[in-house]
Amino acid sequence: MSPRFIGLDFGTTNSALAVASPEGAARLVPVRHRNELLNTFRSILYFDDEERDPNGRPHAFAGPDAMDAYLERGAEGRLIQSVKSYLANPNFTSTSIFNSRFTLENLVGFIVARLVDATAEAEELSGEMLAGPVVVGRPARFVRNSLGVADGAHDDLAVARLREALRGVRIPDVHFEFEPVAAAYSYEASLARDELVLIGDFGGGTSDFCLLHVGPGMREVKARGETIVGVSGVGLAGDAFDARLIEHCVAPRLGKGTNYKSGSKTLPVPSWPYDTMKRWHELSLINTRKTRRMLEEIGQTAEAADEVAALSRLISEERGFALYQAVEATKVALSSSPETTLHFDLDPVTIDARVTRAEFDSWIAPELAEISTCVDRLLEETGTSPGRVDRVFLTGGSSFIPAVRRLFAARFGAEKLAGGGELTSVATGLALAARQRFGD
């Protein structure tokens, strides 16, 4: 049997596997869920105190199984999302779940192992991943400081943790590739001539950019770094856009900016739960007895008692994922419609917030400015004028946002924008990268 080349895209929101034969196109390895075949695997975990593994520790549901368990059991368990976003954080080493401690590497490993197990090719893939190289995607920059400069120490920490997590689930021979470079492999497969391409990869937590040469003349170059002109990135993307919708459409309807009585004093409702809400995957971290007691006491004298009660329910019932779904649906709708409604039912409050695309564009203007600055910095550092760029390939969910596309159209020309496989091009590109590196 001919060898296969494997690419693993471990993402903040979704993960995927792809394989490539010695010749031809790469293909995604679908995952099975009930009677469906899915191209991507949601990067979430759910733990239920009633479900234990053979060692007596809480069982980790992952991907669509985690979503099902969460929707069925809700606040009875613990939902964990956006694990990738913690890799560069030295302060997050482990977490206690129903009196069992799990390291960050454990959490990453659960997601990847369950992803492999959910495929129809699980046994074959497991053997191949144990015995041979696997090319794994990584952001161009896991983290940058406030001046936009790459933070090498934290970046190295994230890579080391990801490598260790994969070793823990029997993937010992790991080779990393920049995610935008992987997307370039996918785009390059359709080219008949060489081009200088800017790849923009918009994930959940990072926006990464790579300027490189692609095309028929580059396909035999095993050290792909030779074709890269420059890379850059910024630590914001889809999650940051979601946060703006939460800030403007959700938080004001859950008591933000209102007051409560404490003795003879009138005090503002604390802002920190609303700040945490912007990073919806962190809501479970504040679902503590102290937080619940605080909100209960505030609600007794709050001028917006129903809204504070709804906030308390959002946290105590682990409704963060449901909130994310409502926000994501709103963002997607605004990509094709000039206005829509963000609907979220959180008894005793029902949120029906009308939002226009123009409003959304104004809310995400600071993030767009950071992305614009990052791209300009890359062009300046590489001495490349926009006119020299032959094509701009945009991938990732946020590449559909009209304001994002306008930013690149204004700088490079709308006719140069290209896309395709926005949610899967990185995975297939990683498999092609594996073939180019390790094929004969």
Q: What angle do CA 387, 393, 399 make, to 5 degrees?
A: 120
Residue 146 has pLDDT above 50, yes or no: no
Of 12-16, 75-79, 315-319, highest mean pLDDT: 12-16
Alpha-carbon distance of 396 to 200, in angstroms, equals: 8
Rg of the chain (C-alpha set): 23
What's the whole-number mean pLDDT along residues 51-59? Answer: 90
Question: Which of 346 and 189 is assigned the larger pLDDT?
Answer: 346
Q: Return all residues near 171 (Cβ < 8 A) that are at least 6 apart.
A: 8, 112, 129, 130, 134
Q: Which amino acid is at 127?
A: G
Place of tokens 């938080």: 251
Sign of CA dihedral 242, 243, 246, 249: negative
From the DSSP assignment, how many helices (H) and strands (E) are in the chain? 14, 22
Q: Return all residues near 138 (Cβ < 8 A) that are at least 6 apart.
A: 158, 159, 162, 176, 177, 178, 179
Give the model's pLDDT for residue 74: 63
Q: Which of 212-226, 263-277, 372-386 has the lowest mean pLDDT?
A: 212-226
Q: How confident is the model over 91-129, as pLDDT tens digits?
A: 989 999 999 999 999 999 999 999 999 999 999 999 999
Assigned token pair, 220: 């035999």
Domains of the chain by start residue, with CATH: 5-178+428-438 (3.30.420.40)
**Around 254, how many Cα atoms within 13 Å sit in the side-chain half-sphere?**
28
> With bands split at pLDDT 50, 70 and 90, how would you rate the model's confidence at 143?
low
Q: How confident is the model over 201-242, as pLDDT tens digits?
A: 898 878 989 999 998 888 777 667 788 899 888 888 888 999
Give the model's pLDDT for residue 75: 61
Q: How confident is the model over 147-203, as pLDDT tens digits?
A: 344 567 888 999 999 999 999 999 999 999 988 888 888 888 888 899 999 999 898
Q: Measuring CA to CA, how many Å separate 436 from each of 23, 137, 193, 288, 307?
A: 11, 15, 18, 50, 56
> With bands split at pLDDT 50, 70 and 90, how would you rate the model's confidence at 145?
very low
293: alpha, beta or left, given left = phi > 0 and alpha = psi -120 to 50? alpha
Dihedral of the alpha carbons of 166, 171, 176, 180, in degrees to the nearest 10: -80
Alpha-carbon distance of 87 to 83, in angstroms, equals: 7
Alpha-carbon distance of 371 to 140, in angstroms, equals: 14
> With bands split at pLDDT 50, 70 and 90, how would you rate the model's confidence at 317?
confident
* CA proximity to 65, closest of 41, 96, 81, 49: 41
3-state DSSP helix/strand/coil percent for the chain, to nearest 5?
Answer: 45, 25, 25
Dihedral of the alpha carbons of 67, 69, 73, 75, in degrees to the nearest 10: -50
Q: Which of 161-175, 219-233, 266-280, 351-365 has the lowest mean pLDDT?
A: 219-233
Question: Which of 70 and 209 is assigned the larger pLDDT?
Answer: 209
**In sequence order, what are the beta bridge partners of 62?**
45
Residue 144 has pLDDT above 50, yes or no: no
